[in-house]
Structure 1
């Protein structure tokens, strides 16, 4: 059986044609799923019984099961642990702002990039998520908070550009009027810096925001934090960013996790200024979330402010990310990792519920 969420409108229309049904049924079905939040074929009342039986024989609607839900004390951040049909676990975060609700989606089960400040990568990657499984996180989360989500960040577990084809299909589907119709300018894709894929993404000429997990202005210290830096240098990343800017006209965002005694000195701030001067960009300073698997500590408030001021003084547009959900397994991958280590999960695996690796 196929997960119908992996089908875009053209693919579903073609399936209808091949199966001797009118292609307009495809838009009706997508309307039920994406506009009316109906995830059971039996309740699609304007679809004939004959078509519904065909759908049930060939498709399922791959909405994940909610395993755990956390809400911050400030009531503005929700963290969800979802389980797919193959029993793989991912996490999704929803953040409430005055301008609307933002969701941070995962693109892989685990991650192979090995960044030292991230809990998602501790056990490596299990598999890629399909376009429909990425979409399903939004559908399920909207149901959980009973509100529409208007902004998307691909910054959860996994490296989006390591799952390029599925992520690209997701971007096009979520933007479609037949799906959730979320504007591309309301979508941010974060990457640790896979240079060839940044170039490919630029050639797609999308209007999404590209965010680069930079975290250091020099190759030596970046290699110590991010293994990907052994393959692609900062100079190559900056070249790819310039190409992206020229192709799309869009500003690039650089994420910089401030780690105490590692990359938070004024010397590092000055080197970052020299690296980014003249580039159409924005820097997002992130007080690092502490993860038990490493010794990284959050920079002091004083150092964060000094670092910020140095960038602002040199006309580098900069913000300090507001801490949200610090009381609910804040770091990416923490909730999933804690669950995988729990006795109940280990017992389930021993009883035959092992993770499915593919791809």
Structure 2
């Protein structure tokens, strides 16, 4: 991340996303004592300051001189709670773009599903985000802001983060990696509690492995063969299934960490026991885990959600092949906040 140096850069680069060391150097450049850096860091990451004017421990004169410096927080555009406690947020960015993030509470944790792009260029056929096209990558502060927003709204610390919102994280690798480090070192979330999801971009999984993060890699497979995968994921035409799996094997060799394979189960398309056996043949001897996701409906396509009995038959077929498998419970369906349902819709602003 580029260090803030000149006055012009200071006023155009948000402070959110900067480390304690960089914030300390920045306040010293403003002829302030170094301890102001720790104060600034605390107010941004722990106390949720949205403006330098909020930081009451700073001298009033200095705050007024820095009136044009942005911390980099978004504006809450819409808040949609679901009966299961999940909350979907539409956040308005500084350029007016809208993104979605989701807070998912359980008994012992609070997970945030974060977006990495405005829209998504991958155009997966079952996904609402892909139907809306791609606008731009999110910056580091725009990713971190989502976590702080959920944390503040729930009034409790976020424990887990999944990069499974809008966008393809590995098409925005630099800012995603920067955000992971910030969330780990500055917000205080363990890397092992962070999951980065991807449909597979040639060469990017190896690059992620070289970072030696402790985060979990989740690969959106969604099919047991190349033919069906191309139906669901257009980019799969340029990235054969075997090539993707070989890169995943490299990831395991380089990191010693297993790969989670996400598999959206679509009735009548990829949900038969023979599909499970075909999938198992790809993964046998692989340090991996399969996460089955029953399809969550969207308006644009007529895919169907498989029955619980069909899901259990798929699970049984994988277990018979000694493949580790679990079924993800869909959260936020009533608020269109479940996996595959996120889109930046033009809803009315939230009441304040």
Give the structure-2-normalised TM-score. 0.91
Map of 1:68 onto structure 2? 78
Answer whether contact 1:157 1:332 (CA < 8 A) is retained: no
1:21 maps to 2:32: yes
Q: 2:137 aligns with which of 104, 128, 135?
A: 128
Which whole-Å deviations, capped at 9, do the CAs of 1:30-49 have from their partners, x for residues lacking one?
11111122323223233223
Q: Distance in 2 between matches of 1:62 and 1:151?
A: 22
Q: Distance in 1 between matches of 2:22 and 2:244?
A: 35
SS in 2 for 1:82: strand
1:206 maps to 2:213: yes
SS in 1 for 2:76: strand
Q: Distance in 2 between matches of 1:99 and 1:282?
A: 23
Q: 2:66 aligns with which of 42, 55, 59?
A: 55
Q: Distance in 2 between matches of 1:17 and 1:330?
A: 43
SS in 2 for 1:272: helix
Map of 2:45 onto structure 1? 34
Answer whether contact 2:276 2:318 (CA < 8 A) is retained: yes
Q: Distance in 1 between matches of 2:97 and 2:285?
A: 44
1:183 maps to 2:190: yes
Q: Distance in 2 between matches of 1:328 and 1:66?
A: 16
Map of 2:154 onto structure 1? 145
SS in 1 for 2:208: helix
Gaps of 5+ in 1: 346-359
Answer whether contact 2:330 2:338 (CA < 8 A) is retained: no
Q: Distance in 2 between matches of 1:169 and 1:21?
A: 27
1:318 maps to 2:325: yes
SS in 2 for 1:5: coil
Gaps of 5+ in 2: 1-11
Superposed displacement of residue 333, structure 1: 6.6
1:232 maps to 2:239: yes
Superposed displacement of residue 121, structure 1: 1.2
Q: Distance in 2 between matches of 1:267 and 1:226?
A: 21
Alignment of 1:73-84 (within 5 A): 73-75=83-85, 77-84=86-93
Aligned residues: 338
Map of 2:273 onto structure 1? 266
Deviates more, 1:269-278 or 1:19-28: 19-28
